[in-house]
Chains A and B, each alone.
Chain A
């Protein structure tokens, strides 16, 4: 399979298709997911395609060539290859009938819902990148998280994907888990490096409201959760280990071998157009002056009813103000560790220099939280760890 080019392209389009179904709900998950023994894959896929057909007709979507497709969830891999194939074909036909082979097409897969046949099927459908929701290589941790697969099953899934010909495999891990020690975490990192994943996403466990974890670890007792200091050390050791192993730390939570950065996800951080399909999906278009966003009905059943009735399922939207666009630009650009805020691009887009717009920039630099060169503003390692505070400090002076 060819290696897609790495950088996102302006005046292009990315498509995100959300498949909200899961075999079971994990204890920490607040995603838009629905537990279903048998997902209505045909009906749902029909809806995705119908929604796309109306979206493609909209003026906003005619921005440019298709660059990426990302099928996420939920658990997209509970869908069999035929509907996935149908979806990919429809996207290409509707948006870029002449699209070359360079479109990055990702599907998220879960270890328990995968076999070699399925993987071959996805590959034949055009998928050239898989992202495996491993979360942990430790059975005790997996159990804590409420995952229904074992560590061995995750390793098997990885090997199967490799055998199926995928040369661009991503692995997701979660750290700062209840009961996890720094040494436990180091072992996880060791494992993922050994496997040779092209792409690694590391997410610090976030205990979201309306999850069983929230009740257990926020309301009842915080016992067992690593301290803020331990959590910071886990992140630091991860950055150090993965860099040593040759990975590029290109976004706060993302690492990749050179040439294997996720083009689709970079589109979000560059602020490029995305068509979001499916229940709860968000779409963003760079409509002048500052961009527009809309989002779909979250409930899968209602989503399908709306699309079947009118081709659309929009539940809300927003037109960004200049200050909001600046806020998003700063926050998303700074998440990209190496790129940061491109000063020239910022000036050109907003007609104001970052140090004029963000009055606390100098203070943040003096405090060692950001670095400023002639071209770019970046988070320092200390700044990354408290990036939410940095973003707030930067943007609070915007009018």
Chain B
């Protein structure tokens, strides 16, 4: 492969700005996928991805394109995940490229997500090719958006491609721009192997498949390779490319993007961002920028039906094969029995994992309220990291509790500044900066407790700004906070799985709101259900779900009998979504009630 004829690029876009659609058009135009094979959003392979219109795993596709200059180029499209929870994965995918297409919605303009990714892209030195998408929409305003791109991003947008991926407009122009503006990769084939691992997943037949971008050297079958961060070595069985269907080739040289299969059993041996080298002729230094994946949000996952515990465990082991940022360890709750404490990159990641476990492994699960990791210094001087309210020591043993803070960058039209400032203050934020990017767009920087973010911050932000604000965040540090445990009692018994760690000065308010919300969520039962919120032995709020008074079938003769029994059987299925805690049946939503408190 001639290095000069390779272009490695990624697509940066805000959610819904048309990344998947444009990817599909590029595949179609270059004949990589025929129209008949084309399922919308070819690049998003998981059902969940297609339904939610997002990308969770990075995907790559190798496209052959004969340009106007008469040469045939190999274009490697590296599709990146598109959610704030997956920023690190995005940065690694971008590092595998020399350039990026920046898609901006021609009516909505630049969004915070775009900005955050673009910063990452320029940080790793990528050439940016702007594309204005959705120019077919009546509210599209290319001149205004071009100016905004120039003002905000400092990029020359005069040559920006005008496209409508949906209508197939501007596709060839985009391909030409890639060839012309994105530089070919550098690298030397006789240097020791250096390849960036930017994704990996488990395949039932082949074991772990890793996606790499070769910077120097050559990787081929039979070579013993070493992961520089984990130190593990494997012998390569196969190398290949996604064209976009997997195709085995003899070797991957400098500048090339493809997959490596090497008898690897676990994805955990292959951290994203790690450098692959030749074990016999290793590189001196790894590629820069490696970070071990770190769970930020924790919650309990329990089977509604306790007999599904082993099934859940097996399913999680399988899922972790594919997702090294998802962690779990056994946890026991008095109320819910045996389950697991799980770590996630964020709330979105948590939802995805739960949904996949339920859908792909046919489980019915209770997810407890998400929490962050607290640093607790005990009176004897020892330090414990606490990821579950159940594990918080009694107050008399606690000298200090610290919670993680993040730096949030919130990007929004200026009309929403007032409501966003109020939201950030309500969420215990510390303001760093208000930056007017243009007369109508503001960048707000706030230091916020991560715990507030994992609850409902993101949803609130979207609601309050009608979806126009967006946010990105980075971990800052641990800071001391006055935090206490808030308990929920159902009919006088503490339900440990409902406990929360909350700031002392918010405890009363939270307890009251939570008890009220639980009252809405818990259906009426055969007896009265009393919901109490308490701090220690002090009850701060009380709500009652009144008992059912009358539910009788009047007639039960002949044909009524099987009709009534079938109804019971149907209702019984519905009850499988409920967890019986003591006498009381709690719906799954009750355990996440805190996310629904307004």
Contact = CB atoms under 8 A, between A and B. Distances in A.
A344 interface: no
A204 B568 contact: no
Given A204-B552, A235-B550, A327-B565, 13 more contacts: A16-B558, A228-B550, A231-B549, A232-B549, A253-B554, A274-B558, A276-B559, A282-B561, A328-B565, A367-B526, A386-B526, A386-B549, A389-B548
B556 to A, nearest CB: 6
B562 A392 contact: no
Contacts of A269: 556
Interface of B: 525-527, 548-559, 561-562, 564-565, 568-569, 571-572, 575, 583
Contact of B583 (A203, A318, A367, A386): A367
Contact of A324 (B525, B526, B554, B565): B565
A111 interface: no
Interface string A127-138: 000000000000
Which of B525, B550, B553, B572 counts the most A-chain CB atoms under 10 A from its CB?
Answer: B550
B552 A395 contact: no
Nearest to B564: A331
Interface string A363-376: 11011010000000
Interface string A381-393: 0001111111111
A234 B167 CA distance: 66
Q: What 10 pairs across the A-B complex have the smallest Cβ distances?
A: A203-B554, A282-B559, A232-B550, A388-B551, A396-B572, A232-B549, A282-B558, A389-B526, A385-B550, A228-B549
Nearest to B526: A389
A324 B556 CA distance: 16
Contacts of B551: 385-389
Given A281-B558, A282-B558, A331-B564, A390 B526 contact: yes
A250 interface: no
B558 A395 contact: no
A265 B559 CA distance: 12
Given A203-B555, A265-B557, A327 B568 contact: yes
Contacts of B548: 228, 386, 389
A295 interface: yes
Contact of A369 (B526, B556, B568, B575): B526
Interface of A: 16, 203-206, 228-229, 231-232, 235, 252-253, 265, 268-269, 274, 276, 280-282, 284, 293, 295, 318, 324, 327-328, 331-332, 335, 363-364, 366-367, 369, 384-393, 395-396
A189 to B, nearest CB: 16
19 contacts: A206-B553, A252-B552, A252-B556, A253-B556, A276-B558, A281-B558, A281-B559, A282-B558, A318-B562, A324-B565, A324-B569, A331-B568, A366-B583, A385-B551, A385-B552, A389-B551, A391-B568, A395-B572, A396-B575
Contact of A295 (B549, B550, B559, B583): B559
A303 to B, nearest CB: 14
Which of A281, A331, A364 counts the most B-chain CB atoms under 10 A from its CB?
Answer: A331
Which of B555, B569, B571 counts the most A-chain CB atoms under 10 A from its CB?
Answer: B555
Nearest to B562: A293
Nearest to B558: A282
Contacts of B552: 204, 235, 252, 384-388
A15 to B, nearest CB: 11
A229 B556 contact: no
B561 A268 contact: yes
Contacts of A324: 565, 569
Contacts of A331: 556, 564-565, 568
Contacts of A16: 558
Nearest to B525: A389
Given A331-B564, A367-B526, A367-B583, A206 B554 contact: yes
A228 B524 CA distance: 13
Nearest to B583: A363
Contacts of A205: 554
B562 A204 contact: no
Given A228-B550, A386-B526, A387-B552, A392 B568 contact: yes
B191 to A, nearest CB: 65
Nearest to A389: B526
Contact of B553 (A268, A276, A388): A388
Contacts of A293: 562
Nearest to A385: B550
A318 B569 CA distance: 14
A386 B550 contact: yes
B554 to A, nearest CB: 4
Nearest to A269: B556
A395 B550 contact: no
A367 B527 contact: yes
A55 B558 CA distance: 17
B526 A393 contact: yes
B555 to A, nearest CB: 6
Contacts of A284: 561
B558 to A, nearest CB: 5
Which of B548, B559, B564, B571 counts the most A-chain CB atoms under 10 A from its CB?
Answer: B559
Contacts of A385: 549-552
Nearest to A174: B554
Which of B527, B553, B558, B559 counts the most A-chain CB atoms under 10 A from its CB?
Answer: B558
Contacts of A295: 559, 562
Contact of A395 (B553, B561, B562, B568): B568
Contacts of B550: 204, 228, 231-232, 235, 385-386
Contacts of A332: 556, 561
A364 B527 CA distance: 10
A318 B555 CA distance: 21
B439 to A, nearest CB: 52
